[in-house]
Structure 1
Amino acid sequence: MDEEALNPLTSEEGNNGDQPMPDLPDQDLSSSDSDSDSDSDSGSEDGDDQAHQNLQLQTLEAELSANPGNYDTHVQYIKILRQMADIEKLRQAREAMNQLFPLTPSMWQDWAKDEASLSTGSDAFWAIEKLYERGVFEYLSISLWRDYLDFVKENDPSVRECSPAGISKARDLFERALTAAGLHVSEGNKLWEAYRSFEQAIFHTIDEKDNQAREKQIQRVRSLFHRQLSVPHVNMRSTLLDYKAWEVERGNILDAGSSDLDGISFQVASAYKKALEMYDGRDHLEEQICLQDMSDSERLQNFMNYLRFEQSSGDPARVQTLYERAITAFPISSYLWLDYTRYLDKTLKVGNVITNVYSRAVMNCPCVGELWVQYMLSLERGHASEKEIASVFEKSLLCTLTLDEYLDLYLTRVDGLRRRISCAVEAEHGLEYSLIRETFQNASDYLSAYLKNTDGLLRLHAYWARLELNLHKDQLAARGVWETLLKLCNLLCQLRVNLSVLVHKSEVIIHVSIPFFCIKWLTSLYFVSHPGLESSGFIFSFELVKGLAYVDFSDDAHLVAAVAKNKQMLLGKKLSIARSDPKHGKKEHARGAESNDSAEASNAPRARQGQQSTYNRGSDNVQLKGRNTFATPRNILALGRSTNKPTTEKQDDEKPKSNDEFRNMFLKG
């Protein structure tokens, strides 16, 4: 049989009329001398064009050297090189661009055709086949798949010669194409028809005397017809007519000119009716996403409406195909990529499929931190190697992100290392805690200057200290992390600690004058630190601590902010914050009544005073009463004393204790 019959995809429809190198005109060596003048004129013009192209090329090369991430400059640079037919530079330019960005389907088609026009031999075939593989991976394109199938059929010797290995290879490629785009409502039928034509061509190569082989091949073609008739596509009725005509050729009695289902098996007719109903329900949605006279935002919204409809139908394969169509139309829409990946994480849960989508998502939207974070998590769920995860993490740090996104990346990386180190199986693969410490240190070195006195810096170091203490069992290292945080934030200058630490009934009350960030640091220090922590002369004793701290805020704004944090979680712990308002106790009330010269006259006002605590900010006349007066800072009021009582000589002589005196007091306790 002839090659045209064996390669049914070779047609004007699959060729698109593109020339491999359109700017390499054929040379007519038989031109006459009479055309020499016109040739010289055209040669002068060509020289001017060449000089202009060289100037453009130099300008674009300078722009790419200064800013390699400029997508449009890459496109223009490749366009100029293609016009100049500089194939070596063109290859390098395309590879350089693809290192940073995915190429469009048309760019892959141009690349493959250029290489095919200039290269021959088996080595060239394998190189071009790899180009097609890279192209169909990045975006869903029916025309690119058709070009790929045509190229393999025409240039692979085993396929061209119809050897068993070649036929098997072609069938596998067709099945891959159907898996990727067979559910494409408006164009998927082109792949089905190409597959059928290939199998019908194989039938004609079988010896007429080999009835068994011919019957087996007939069943293959029939099966393809049945599969296509069960999938909603455009021109379904035309496909039905083709099927009936083919059956008539096989000797089956059917009315080939009728579009009804007479003579067709019940199963095939039932599947066809269902597919036709599905297509009718999607026809208007297909029209909306294919309209040309609309804005990109309107078209994207139409895609989202279509996606929600498919999701409600409950067929993940159809949803995924439509997502692929949408991102081909809107490749840099971060909203669309995030929606797509979240759907896959929730519904599909197939490791390699999801990681492939994430790898393409970060190529199209590299400046979206959430995509990088979820990419690393998907690799971990898929049991990817440490080398692969580390590579993705390093690439993410090269992108332009927000500080919060960088912090999330570092913490996600640490989370993954912690989980795998804690897992006995993963621990056998050589992961060590030093990787966690190195990641924390790199994060601190890079982010500390930008996150100074923020919750983010606290989260980072609190997590670091907790892992040093609980995972690595190194108390000294945990202490060192907190000391590093102190130095980074200059807390020794900001705390303005009054050193009025009181011990009463196993409770430590700390009075400091600090912003709200610092009281959160003190709280987290209590949660993750260990007994006897000492830092730069400020002593904390946690042997008997209940977790009570009295804090004097520097202004009312920080006080309001602190009270608003009541019952919220901090590093996994619930905070309990209340404004100081101690109530009057019975013993204090009795003692106060006995010390007054006129108890009967003063009982009523004292009873009212016992229900409140007065603290006039900015005034020296501070009054705190009640059973909880032990929580009163030393510089405000002596323990258990009232400002209305006369000051004794012993009280006047009492002075705030130094750091050494407090240390000795704690050690004696």
Structure 2
Amino acid sequence: MAAAEQEEREKLRLAEEREEEMESEEGGQQRQQGDGSSEESGESSSSEEDDKECEVEIQRLEEQPLSRVLCRASAAGDQGRIGSKAIMAITFHLVSHQLAAETPKLAEYQAYIDFEMKEGDPARIQLIFERALAENCLVPDLWARYAQYLDRQLKVKELVLSAHDRATRNCPWTVGLWKRCILAMERHCVDHSIIVETFEKALNAGFIQATDYVEIWQSYLDYLRRRVDFTKDSSKELEELRAAFARALDYLKQEVEERFGESGDPTCSIMQNWARVEAGHCNNMQKARELWDNIMTKGNSKFANMWLEYYNLER
């Protein structure tokens, strides 16, 4: 009898322990569900707060100049008030809104370009440059900045040469764009005949002052000089360089002086360069002296610095 009672008590104890275990498991599941719902509610509330912050920031910046918009949006991100996605959303909204207001918006585009250059994303930088140039294709400085970025950062031959070609076609009166174009073509090993053709186009572009023609000739002559192997006594490239120097002097005297009333080269810089090449690279002092005698007869004999240049050549 006592054994039976003992067995009943043991069964009852085991049943109670099992019930307690089941209750504890159910409580744990409920707590986990509660934690999950709190996390979800926390995330949703955080998302709602971000949206509200974006709206507040947009309203605050809506009526301000684009340059200030970009600076303040970036500063807000640096201070941790809004996240990077919010910054991009604000920037995109405000920039699109302001750029769509009137065209062309050169100052706004310049500010946006500055912002993207600071961020450093090549695809976005190229995109905003292209968008700006679509509405400001007759602004030489914008073309020059775009070409410089491609030359120094991307360095992709097709993109670089295409940009330089478009720049010279849209702003042919700007000598600086032609000079950069020739340098870019040389840097990317474009065929010599194509570079010569580009130079001839530059001469026919219709520059607005005589000094522009001197600059383009100097740039072209420098290119030809770099092609010459001066370790050889004579070469096709050297003869081409000498012929180009002679043609440059004739061109300035006949074409440029007739059009502008001046050669654009009062100090005879092209002739000085020719003399340096003959004296320094070709050891042809006779030709160098002939050139300098010609320089002095053009009214330069009264300037002390010209005599010093002549003296340095003789040294």
Whether the TM-score (by the shorter chain) exceeds 0.5 is: yes
Measured after TM superposition, the shift of residue 393 of structure 1 is: 0.6
User: What is the one-letter code of the residue matched to 2:189?
Assistant: H
Measured after TM superposition, the shift of residue 477 of structure 1 is: 1.6
Change (3 A) 1:523 1:338: same
Tell me if structure 2 keeps the 8 A contact 1:465–1:477.
yes
Change (3 A) 1:451 1:521: farther
Change (3 A) 1:330 1:527: same
- What RMSD over aligned residues (CA atoms) do the two structures have, in Å? 2.5
Residue aligning to 2:266: 454
- The separation in 2 between residues aligned to 1:330 and 1:452, in whole angstroms, is 31
Q: Deviations over 1:422-441 (max 9, x none)?
A: 389xx9xx751111112211
Runs of 5+ in structure 1 lacking a partner?
A: 1-272, 496-513, 531-669
Matched, 1:441 2:246: yes
Q: Deviations over 1:84-137 (max 9, x none)?
A: xxxxxxxxxxxxxxxxxxxxxxxxxxxxxxxxxxxxxxxxxxxxxxxxxxxxxx
Tell me if structure 1 keeps the 8 A contact 2:211–2:265.
no
Residue aligning to 1:473: 283
Measured after TM superposition, the shift of residue 484 of structure 1 is: 2.7
Matched, 1:419 2:226: yes
Tell me if structure 1 keeps the 8 A contact 2:214–2:265.
no
Measured after TM superposition, the shift of residue 464 of structure 1 is: 0.7
Change (3 A) 1:313 1:291: same
User: What is the one-letter code of the residue matched to 2:266?
Assistant: T
Measured after TM superposition, the shift of residue 451 of structure 1 is: 3.5
Q: Deviations over 1:450-497 (max 9, x none)?
A: 237823x2x21111101012222222221221233234x156xxx5xx
Percent of pairs with identical residues: 27
Q: Deviations over 1:138-176 (max 9, x none)?
A: xxxxxxxxxxxxxxxxxxxxxxxxxxxxxxxxxxxxxxx
Matched, 1:529 2:314: yes
- The separation in 1 between residues aligned to 2:118 and 2:97, in whole angstroms, is 19
Change (3 A) 1:452 1:386: closer
- The separation in 2 between residues aligned to 1:439 and 1:400, in whole angstroms, is 20
Residue aligning to 1:382: 188
- The separation in 2 between residues aligned to 1:330 and 1:320, in whole angstroms, is 15
Matched, 1:320 2:126: yes
Residue aligning to 1:665: none
- The separation in 2 between residues aligned to 1:286 and 1:423, in whole angstroms, is 57
- The separation in 2 between residues aligned to 1:394 and 1:466, in whole angstroms, is 25
User: What is the one-letter code of the residue matched to 1:479?
Assistant: R
- The separation in 1 between residues aligned to 2:92 and 2:211, in whole angstroms, is 42
Change (3 A) 1:422 1:282: farther
Residue aligning to 2:237: 432
- The separation in 1 between residues aligned to 2:97 and 2:91, in whole angstroms, is 12
Residue aligning to 1:403: 210
Tell me if structure 2 keeps the 8 A contact 1:478–1:529.
no
- Matched residue of 1:432: which SS? helix
- The separation in 2 between residues aligned to 1:526 and 1:434, in whole angstroms, is 27
Tell me if structure 2 keeps the 8 A contact 1:333–1:365.
yes
Change (3 A) 1:362 1:470: same
Q: Deviations over 1:521-546 (max 9, x none)?
A: 2111011236xxxxxxxxxxxxxxxx
- Matched residue of 1:422: which SS? coil
- The separation in 1 between residues aligned to 2:98 and 2:132, in whole angstroms, is 13
User: What is the one-letter code of the residue matched to 1:370?
Assistant: G
Tell me if structure 1 keeps the 8 A contact 2:182–2:199.
yes
Residue aligning to 1:341: 147
Q: Deviations over 1:388-441 (max 9, x none)?
A: 1111111000112222221111111111111122389xx9xx751111112211
User: What is the one-letter code of the residue matched to 2:242?
Assistant: R
Q: Which of the two has greater helix per residue?
A: 2
- The separation in 2 between residues aligned to 1:481 and 1:416, in whole angstroms, is 21
User: What is the one-letter code of the residue matched to 2:166?
Assistant: R
Q: Deviations over 1:362-384 (max 9, x none)?
A: 00000000000000000010011
Change (3 A) 1:451 1:529: farther
Measured after TM superposition, the shift of residue 277 of structure 1 is: 5.4
Q: Which has the higher contact order (CA 8 A, sep 6+)?
A: 2
User: What is the one-letter code of the residue matched to 1:280?
Assistant: I
Tell me if structure 1 keeps the 8 A contact 2:164–2:177.
yes
Tell me if structure 1 keeps the 8 A contact 2:275–2:291.
yes
- The separation in 1 between residues aligned to 2:181 and 2:264, in whole angstroms, is 29
Tell me if structure 2 keeps the 8 A contact 1:433–1:472.
no
Tell me if structure 2 keeps the 8 A contact 1:414–1:436.
yes
Residue aligning to 1:549: none
Residue aligning to 1:371: 177
Change (3 A) 1:330 1:484: same
- The separation in 2 between residues aligned to 1:452 and 1:322, in whole angstroms, is 38
Residue aligning to 1:278: 88
User: What is the one-letter code of the residue matched to 1:333?
Assistant: V
Superposition map of 1:488-507 within 5 A: 489=298, 495=301
User: What is the one-letter code of the residue matched to 2:225?
Assistant: R
Runs of 5+ in structure 2 lacking a partner?
A: 1-82
Change (3 A) 1:343 1:423: farther
Change (3 A) 1:276 1:387: farther
- Matched residue of 1:337: which SS? helix
**Normalising to structure 1: TM-score of the pair?**
0.32
User: 1:287 is matched with which residue: 92, 97, 105?
Assistant: 97
- Matched residue of 1:451: which SS? coil
Superposition map of 1:519-558 within 5 A: 519-529=304-314
Superposition map of 1:27-38 within 5 A: none
**Normalising to structure 2: TM-score of the pair?**
0.65
- Matched residue of 1:394: which SS? helix
User: What is the one-letter code of the residue matched to 1:481?
Assistant: L
User: What is the one-letter code of the residue matched to 1:432?
Assistant: E
- Matched residue of 2:228: which SS? helix
Count the aligned residue pairs: 223
Measured after TM superposition, the shift of residue 288 of structure 1 is: 1.1
User: What is the one-letter code of the residue matched to 1:476?
Assistant: Q
- The separation in 1 between residues aligned to 2:108 and 2:206, in whole angstroms, is 31
- Matched residue of 1:391: which SS? helix
